[in-house]
Structure 1
Amino acid sequence: MIDVLNKGVRRIHAWPLYIVGVIPAVWLIYSGATGGLGAEPIKALEHRLGLIGLQLLIAGLAITPLRKWAGLNLIKFRRAIGLLTFFYILLHLLVWLVLDVQILSQIWADIIKRPYITIGMIGFILMIPLAVTSNNYSIRKLGAKWRRLHQLTYVAAVLGAIHFVMLSKGFQLEPFAYLIAILTLLATRIRWNRKRVVA
């Protein structure tokens, strides 16, 4: 079954994923502009864009465990998923900056004074070099350093989940589910070395 799936995956090009991946953003922006996102369209748009970004981040993190434990090879889609993740997080940030807060001094004050915004901003900043170097030229130029650089994805993922947990009012299961999912996916990457105990 897995072999059949992998053969099917090999026949699929990665580029259509960029087109399909942008459609939800276009639809959300259109819905927000036409009153389809409720009484607070800006807040709803901001939340949903960030949520899609976090979901895509989890999807990207799931690719390696799926190959390792299930034999399903989706590596060819990882770059597209990563760039779409950055795209949605960037839109999430722009909605907050341009449509929500708008005042430059207030933006800086919020980043400094509100921990969940500080954490979210750090996570976004860590994603910038990842997006910039998601191309074949950077892989060739950086060599082994490229892989180490892209381990920042793990930190950005955890910060993104913590950002979601902290901005939620009261105890909500959904943000913690995302955090647990990310921590679980990261745990699958840990190589446990069993040391022999000499009696």
Structure 2
Amino acid sequence: MRGARFRFTSEAMTQVSTVLSAMPWMDRQGRLSVFRLAVFLILLAPAADLLFFLFFGPVFPEPYELAIHESGDWAVRFLVLSLAITPARRIFSWNKLIGVRRMIGVSVLFYVLLHLVLYVASEHWSLPKVVSEIALRFYLTIGFVALLGLAALGITSFDRMIRRLGRRWNQLHMLVYPIAGLALWHYFLQSKSDVSSAVLMAGLFALLMLYRIAVRLKLPLASPLVLAGCAAGGAAAAAGIEFAWYALATGIPAKLVFLANFDVQYELRPAVWVGIAGLSVAVIRMLQMLLPMVRSKLKAA
């Protein structure tokens, strides 16, 4: 009897250990990773703040509207962040980033699902109405297609599915780029007249795609000069996207919006912020390259 109890306890402890080792804040060796834990808490913080505000904050006539937009905003932000992991690893030779790429990708799916649940709640949990709205409203259709794509990527993002799919896994996860395009399109359409945040995210997405194009062209991505060129290209893409949106989708003079990119006296336009982000990466990489030289000179002195 005592032996059976010991075996039961041992098996239970083994199962608990297996579950704990699978937690996102644990590394491959089953040890606590401070870096992964910090990333996990950062990813969780917006949802915690959003839900706390929703349930314990001030009462509004449309209580779910702000939460719906906030959850969608964070989904797009974390989607862009997930796409930044591979270029950042290549640029700064920081291999530890790969360990949090899956976590960030799964968080995107979490925020998209939260976005959908909050929308259903705003419609008083009437599923027939939600289905009809998604079918009839173009921007909702696009968003739902992006959600289905993210769900497919999320379901297949675990080790067992990676082994089962083999080479097809890489082909499937290449869909993240058109899915990101759909998500950004949905972001633009629901933003209506003020698309500053959408332009910023689209510009950063363009910058990240330029990094990937540079790798395909076999350019030295870690070169500050290449990074500066990508920064200029990303800023130009953001300005072009903003101009095209205002020219085609609104009655606001697109030329005036475009010229505002060159007037930084009052505010910085999204294209300028994209350029600053890209140039910051180039400067940090340059400092990273110069630091060993400075250290060696200081030692020699």
TM-score normalised to structure 2 length: 0.56
Residue 94 of structure 1 is matched in structure 2 by 117
Instruction: Name the CA distance, whole Å, in 1 between partners of 2:63 and 2:132.
Output: 24
Asked whether the equivalents of residues 158 and 183 of structure 1 are also in contact (C-alpha less than 8 Å), the reply is no
Instruction: Name the CA distance, whole Å, in 2 between partners of 1:122 and 1:37.
Output: 32
Tell whether 2:150 aligns with 1:130: no
Deviations 1:34-76 (A, max 9, x none): 2348553311001111111111111110011112233333111
Residue 21 of structure 1 is matched in structure 2 by 43
Tell whether 2:180 aligns with 1:150: no
Residue 206 of structure 2 is matched in structure 1 by 183
Per the TM alignment, residue 180 of structure 1 is displaced from its structure 2 partner at its CA by 1.8
Return the structure number with greater relative CO, CA threshold 8 A, min gap 6.
Answer: 1
Asked whether the equivalents of residues 46 and 92 of structure 1 are also in contact (C-alpha less than 8 Å), the reply is yes
Residue 192 of structure 1 is matched in structure 2 by 217
Asked whether the equivalents of residues 65 and 122 of structure 2 are also in contact (C-alpha less than 8 Å), the reply is no
Asked whether the equivalents of residues 123 and 129 of structure 2 are also in contact (C-alpha less than 8 Å), the reply is no
Per the TM alignment, residue 12 of structure 1 is displaced from its structure 2 partner at its CA by 4.0
Tell whether 2:203 aligns with 1:172: no
Asked whether the equivalents of residues 111 and 121 of structure 1 are also in contact (C-alpha less than 8 Å), the reply is yes
Deviates most, 117-126 or 177-186: 177-186
Instruction: Name the CA distance, whole Å, in 1 between partners of 2:124 and 2:164.
Output: 39
Asked whether the equivalents of residues 85 and 101 of structure 2 are also in contact (C-alpha less than 8 Å), the reply is yes
Instruction: Name the CA distance, whole Å, in 1 between partners of 2:64 and 2:123.
Output: 7
Question: In the alignment, which of 47, 55, 59 is matched to residue 33 of structure 1?
Answer: 55
Per the TM alignment, residue 150 of structure 1 is displaced from its structure 2 partner at its CA by 1.1
Deviates most, 184-193 or 152-161: 184-193
Question: In the alignment, which of 46, 50, 75 is matched to residue 53 of structure 1?
Answer: 75
Asked whether the equivalents of residues 63 and 78 of structure 1 are also in contact (C-alpha less than 8 Å), the reply is yes
Larger radius of gyration: 2
Question: In the alignment, which of 48, 52, 64 is matched to residue 86 of structure 2?
Answer: 64
TM-score normalised to structure 1 length: 0.82
Per the TM alignment, residue 144 of structure 1 is displaced from its structure 2 partner at its CA by 1.4
Gaps of 5+ in 2: 1-32, 220-301
Asked whether the equivalents of residues 35 and 41 of structure 1 are also in contact (C-alpha less than 8 Å), the reply is no
Residue identity opposite 1:41 in structure 2: P
Tell whether 2:150 aligns with 1:121: no
Deviates most, 40-49 or 18-27: 18-27
Residue identity opposite 2:53 in structure 1: S
What percentage of aligned pairs have identical amino acids? 30
Residue 197 of structure 1 is matched in structure 2 by none
Residue identity opposite 1:66 in structure 2: A
Asked whether the equivalents of residues 15 and 80 of structure 1 are also in contact (C-alpha less than 8 Å), the reply is no
After superposition, where does 1:2-13 map in structure 2 within 5 Å?
12-13=34-35
Asked whether the equivalents of residues 101 and 107 of structure 1 are also in contact (C-alpha less than 8 Å), the reply is no
Gaps of 5+ in 1: 1-10, 195-199
Deviates most, 156-165 or 106-115: 106-115
Tell whether 2:218 aligns with 1:160: no
Per the TM alignment, residue 136 of structure 1 is displaced from its structure 2 partner at its CA by 1.1
Deviates most, 30-39 or 153-162: 30-39
Residue 99 of structure 2 is matched in structure 1 by 76
Instruction: Name the CA distance, whole Å, in 1 between partners of 2:87 and 2:58.
Output: 38
Per the TM alignment, residue 135 of structure 1 is displaced from its structure 2 partner at its CA by 1.1
Asked whether the equivalents of residues 37 and 45 of structure 1 are also in contact (C-alpha less than 8 Å), the reply is no
Distance change in 2, residues 1:139/1:15 (3 Å): farther
Instruction: Name the CA distance, whole Å, in 1 between partners of 2:56 and 2:37.
Output: 30
Residue 238 of structure 2 is matched in structure 1 by none
